[in-house]
């Protein structure tokens, strides 16, 4: 069942240079590239789909990469369809998960959705976009239709999925519910008649499921574009559950400070994936550091560019000044205690082991009061399970400073 949403006549650009940039910049893979390139050059207005499950209330820079790619299709004149997975969020996306994701309640989803549309509107033009909730069609499927949908996949196909296979081998439970997720996301492509679907590279199985299910329903198969994945501030995959995220609605000063806390080796990647800087210029960032340029100066420029994208140039300039005035000029005692820890050790375990704090209850109180700072960025620690970063001095309370050294 196809539901048609947009019917306006819009001019579509076939500018070859813009199309090549769309197909290559921050792109991990295109499936099928020849088909998609031919469609883009044809001048036909395509229906481009991107979906997010509201598993959290914030959209971070990693997810913004796909939104920015959706905006690139919009700028060429194509019809973009942004799908809020309020129904699929209940099922839980098993992508790259080595344990079962819990089902969200309707109340949790409603809470997470409070500012979703506003956040998406920081990147795409909502007036020229179709904004849909997949509960509007998935909640209406009757059991016989679900059975028909399930016929599009075999147990063998599902079991061959990498993370499912790993869990089977380790004896970790896989819920039958998790098999339904790619079926439901794939059915979204049937419901909106998608010509193209965008997603992060970790979504490839789900995106290909859309092709299989469209074919199952006798529809043309969508082409797929996957974007590069962004590492978080600590070098691991950016994840809300790990607290290593920079959210697109973080206040300018907080966003600026979080960028300043990045590892030096991530700068080039962030310039490429998170700003409008040309790929050529972004490629030079690593060479500038190797040539001896202070990474801090490049981080200041990076932070200003990122803040400007989401809050405007004036807010970015102000955030830069505030950071320099507040943190770069603030003195840290010359002699501070140093703690050596193993990689991926949490701050709470570090400080408990060194008897800097007496209990996890005290740690939660300090975090809740905003009394723990990463002095390299000026960012307040807000995640109870924040991982300790090497060569960083943390301020705990009003007077205590502790430097962390991570063992190699």
Tens digits of residue pLDDT in 320-371: 988 887 666 556 676 778 888 888 899 999 899 888 888 998 999 888 887 8
What tens digit of pLDDT does each residue of 46-105 get?
Answer: 999 999 999 888 999 999 999 999 999 999 999 999 999 999 998 888 776 566 667 788
209-216 long-range contacts, CB within 8 A, separation 24+? 209/153, 209/182, 209/183, 209/185, 210/185, 210/186, 211/186, 212/152, 212/153, 212/186, 213/149, 213/152, 213/183, 213/186, 213/187, 213/189, 214/186, 214/189, 214/190, 216/149, 216/151, 216/152
Of 309, 261, 247, whose CA–CA distance to 56 is shortest?
247
DSSP secondary structure string for all residues of 26-51: TEEEEETHHHHHHHHHHTPPPEEEEE
CA distance 84 to 187: 14
Parallel, antiparallel or unpaired: strands 337-341 and 79-84: unpaired
160-168 long-range contacts, CB within 8 A, separation 24+? 161/94, 161/205, 162/205, 163/94, 163/95, 163/96, 163/97, 163/98, 164/94, 166/98, 167/98, 167/99
* 176-192 and 143-150 helices, crossing angle to 10°: 100
CA distance 27 to 112: 28
Q: Residue 192: its pLDDT value, please?
A: 97
Q: Residue 244: its pLDDT value, please?
A: 83
**pLDDT band at residue 8 using 50, 70 and 90 as cut-offs:** low
What tens digit of pLDDT does each residue of 365-384 get?
Answer: 888 887 888 887 777 788 88
**pLDDT band at residue 118 using 50, 70 and 90 as cut-offs:** very high
Whether the CB-CB separation of 158 and 68 falls below 8 Å is answered with no
Q: How many residues does the chain have?
A: 408
| Percentage of the chain exceeding pLDDT 70 | 93
What tens digit of pLDDT does each residue of 187-239 get?
Answer: 999 999 999 999 999 899 999 999 999 999 999 999 999 999 999 987 888 88
Q: Residue 14: its pLDDT value, please?
A: 94
**Domains, in order of start, for the chain:** 16-227 (3.40.50.620), 250-328 (1.10.240.10), 337-406 (3.10.290.10)
Tell me, rounded to whole angstroms, the distance of Cα 71 from its chain centroid. 16
**pLDDT band at residue 2 using 50, 70 and 90 as cut-offs:** very low
Starting from the edge strand earliest in sequence, which strands make up the sheet with 196-200, in order? 27-31, 223-227, 196-200, 47-52, 79-84, 129-133
CB-count burial class (<10 Å; 0-12, 13-18, 19+) for 241:
exposed
Whether the CB-CB separation of 372 and 380 falls below 8 Å is answered with yes
Tokens of 26: 């921050």
CA distance 367 to 370: 5
Q: What are phi and psi of 234, to 5 degrees?
A: -100, 5
Q: Is 256's pLDDT higher than 70?
A: yes
- The residue-averaged pLDDT of 107-123 equals 92
Q: How many CB atoms lie within 10 A of CB 158?
A: 20
**pLDDT band at residue 9 using 50, 70 and 90 as cut-offs:** low
Mean pLDDT of the chain: 88
- Asked, as a colleague might, if the bond just before 32 is cis with ω within 30 of 0, I would say yes
Of 306, 320, 300, whose CA–CA distance to 122 is shortest?
306
Q: How many CB atoms lie within 10 A of CB 326?
A: 12
Tell me, rounded to whole angstroms, the distance of Cα 354 from its chain centroid. 34
Starting from the edge strand earliest in sequence, which strands make up the sheet with 337-341, in order? 337-341, 400-406, 392-396, 372-374, 379-380
Q: Residue 98: its pLDDT value, please?
A: 60
Q: Residue 4: its pLDDT value, please?
A: 46
- The residue-averaged pLDDT of 28-55 equals 95
């Amino acid at each position: 069942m196809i539901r048609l949403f947009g019917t306006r006549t819009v001019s579509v650009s076939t500018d070859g240079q813009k199309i090549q940039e769309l197909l290559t910049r921050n792109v991990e893979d295109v499936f099928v590239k020849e088909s998609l390139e031919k469609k883009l050059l044809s001048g036909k207005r395509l229906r481009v789909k991107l979906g997010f499950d509201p598993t959290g209330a914030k959209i971070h820079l990693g997810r913004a990469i796909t939104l920015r790619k959706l905006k690139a299709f919009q700028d060429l004149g194509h019809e973009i369809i942004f799908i809020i997975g309020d129904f699929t969020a209940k099922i839980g996306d098993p992508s790259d998960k080595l344990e079962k994701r819990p089902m969200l309640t309707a109340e949790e989803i409603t809470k997470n959705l409070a500012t979703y549309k506003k956040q998406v509107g920081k990147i795409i033009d909502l007036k020229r976009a179709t904004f849909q909730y997949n509960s509007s069609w998935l909640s209406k499927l009757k059991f016989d239709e679900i059975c028909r949908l399930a016929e599009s996949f075999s147990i063998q196909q599902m079991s061959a999925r990498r993370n499912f296979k790993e869990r089977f081998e380790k004896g970790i439970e896989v819920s039958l519910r998790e098999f339904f997720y790619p079926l439901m996301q794939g059915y979204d492509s049937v419901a909106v008649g998608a010509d193209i679907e965008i997603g992060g590279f970790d979504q490839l199985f789900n995106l290909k499921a859309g092709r299989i299910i469209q074919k199952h329903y006798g529809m043309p198969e969508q082409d797929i574009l996957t974007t590069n994945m962004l590492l978080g501030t600590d070098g691991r995959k950016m994840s809300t559950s790990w607290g290593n995220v920079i959210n697109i609605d973080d206040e300018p000063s907080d966003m600026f400070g979080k960028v300043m806390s990045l590892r030096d080796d991530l700068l080039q990647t962030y310039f490429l994936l998170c700003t409008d800087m040309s790929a050529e210029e972004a490629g030079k960032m690593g060479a500038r550091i190797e040539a001896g340029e202070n990474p801090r100066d490049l981080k200041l420029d990076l932070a200003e560019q990122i803040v400007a994208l989401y809050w405007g140039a004036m807010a970015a300039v102000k955030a830069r000044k505030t950071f320099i005035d507040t943190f770069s000029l603030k003195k840290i005692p010359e002699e501070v205690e140093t703690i050596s820890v193993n990689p991926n050790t949490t701050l709470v375990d570090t400080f408990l082991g060194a008897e800097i704090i007496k209990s996890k209850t005290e740690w939660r109180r300090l975090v809740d009061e905003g009394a723990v700072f990463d002095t390299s960025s000026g960012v307040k620690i807000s995640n109870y399970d924040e991982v300790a970063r090497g060569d960083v001095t943390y301020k705990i309370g009003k007077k205590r400073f502790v430097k962390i050294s991570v063992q190699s």
